[in-house]
Amino acid sequence: MKVLKSLRRSMPNIPGWHTNRKIVVIESDDWGSIRMPSKKVYDKLLQDGYNVDQLSYERYDSLASEEDLSALFDTLTSIKNQREQHPVITANTVVANPDFEKIAASGFSEYFYEPFIKTLTQYPHHTHAFALWKEGIEQQIFHPQFHAREHLNVARWMRDLQQNIPAARLAFEHKTISLSSLITPNNKNAYMDSFDYDTEVESILLNTILTDGLQLFESLFGYPSKSFIASCYIWSKELEIKLQKCGVDFIQGMAVQTIPTLNHGNVYTHNYHYTGQKNRLEQIYLVRNCFFEPSENIAFDWVNDCMNRIKIAFRWGKPAIISTHRLNFIGNIDPTNRDRNLKLFANLLKTILHFYPDVEFMTSDQLGSVIASNTKV
């Protein structure tokens, strides 16, 4: 069994770009996006019979508070490699959230959004959170890249709100997008799949959403995003064209890309990718091969599993690209979640340094640039 597991984990590391350098990239999705608004809302939904304690994203995930950011940054700055370099998080960022008040005022006839920095001001312990983002950027431990304008399938969400779907309206009333009760055969990702579509009109709308989002990203951070990762790993070949026109050279993701099909509902096709692979537009794919997601299963040994995957990646001459979503570092709903996971995260980083003192910490776009300038495979 161990041999088969090692073989399965080795397969994605065989093709593509190789290097003798020990490169670690830490990719973390969902920064800036709303999820569970507060402990008060969580408790109310639980009391009303909604199983929000059964899905980790509903149980733990929320906008990062000042305390969350400070604790994460303290962990990162406590660790250095031989080059005096701290680990850096590629913070894949959602730059906007729905403007619930304006949508309600329109009678659900129109969609409106607000920059996530405005959303932060509506949360009790988040007033100075964006200032901390900027500090993290300046210290080169927190590097935003583009995830989506909003972590939301706007067309499907608005359609269900207009049709007065009870669960959609309930979530809306609590100023959240999604509840697990909204997961149905026709809504498998509960509106979180930003770049999925069913019709040509919806597909065209995504071009506008993407352009708006990338422009807002640059206005917020003062630089364009060179990399992108699609929410729920669903995006089309046509979206890659728009990304390329907007200056996105590197596409983060898993080994499997899920591609929507027009007028076929839940019918998808799939493409398979590997790190260093180029598409017809010369964009480079960066594929995750290591995982640190302790909020998903607190009984699992994530540190040991992630280290085993890192060792396999380095054995094959591949960078270790670690997936770790924002919820792992959030204590706004349950402080134990953040505190427990940061100890594990620090342990993981120290273990990496123990085995590989020459490790290089990079952002996703830095890795993409290294691959682009060195085509050796």
Question: Which string of DSSP letters, residue by residue, matches 316-330?
Answer: TT--EEEE--GGGG-
- pLDDT (mean) for 280-286: 99
* Integer Cα distance of 140 and 361 in angstroms: 10
State the DSSP code for 65.
Answer: P
* Integer Cα distance of 113 and 102 in angstroms: 9
Q: By mean pLDDT, which of 188-197, 239-248, 302-311 is the weakest?
A: 188-197
* Integer Cα distance of 358 and 265 in angstroms: 49
- Residue with the larger pLDDT of the pair 264 and 337: 337
Contact 327, 61 (CB under 8 A): yes
From the centroid of its chain, how far is CA 63? 13
No. of helices (H) and no. of strands (E), the chain: 14, 13
- Residue 315 maps to which CATH number? 3.20.20.370
Joined together, the tokens standing for residue 290 give 């290591």
Say whether pLDDT at 208 is over 90: yes
Contact 90, 25 (CB under 8 A): yes
pLDDT > 70: percent of the chain? 97
Q: By mean pLDDT, which of 129-133, 147-151, 189-193, 346-350 is the weakest?
A: 189-193
Instruction: List pLDDT tens digits, range 123-132.
Output: 999 999 999 9
Identity of the amino acid at 32: G
Say whether pLDDT at 2 is over 80: no
Say whether pLDDT at 145 is over 60: yes
> Which range marks the domain in which residue 186 is found?
2-373
Contact 146, 93 (CB under 8 A): yes
* Integer Cα distance of 88 and 331 in angstroms: 20
Contacts of residue 49, defined as CB under 8 A and 6 or more positions apart, other chains included, come to none
Contacts of residue 44, defined as CB under 8 A and 6 or more positions apart, other chains included, come to 174
Residue whose C-alpha is closest to residue 71's, from 333, 329, 302: 329
Say whether pLDDT at 375 is over 60: no
Beta bridge partners of 184: 187
Domains in the chain, number? 1
φ/ψ of residue 348, rounded to 5: -60, -50
Classify 366 as helix, strand or coil: helix
pLDDT at position 187 is 82
Contact 324, 294 (CB under 8 A): no
Instruction: List pLDDT tens digits, range 212-266.
Output: 999 999 999 999 999 999 999 999 999 999 999 999 999 999 999 999 998 766 7
Contact 173, 103 (CB under 8 A): no
Residue whose C-alpha is closest to residue 92's, from 364, 289, 368: 364
pLDDT at position 376 is 47
Confidence of residue 377 (pLDDT cuts 50, 70, 90): very low
Other Cβ atoms less than 10 A from the Cβ of 329: the count is: 24
Instruction: List pLDDT tens digits, range 62-94.
Output: 999 999 999 999 999 999 999 999 999 999 999
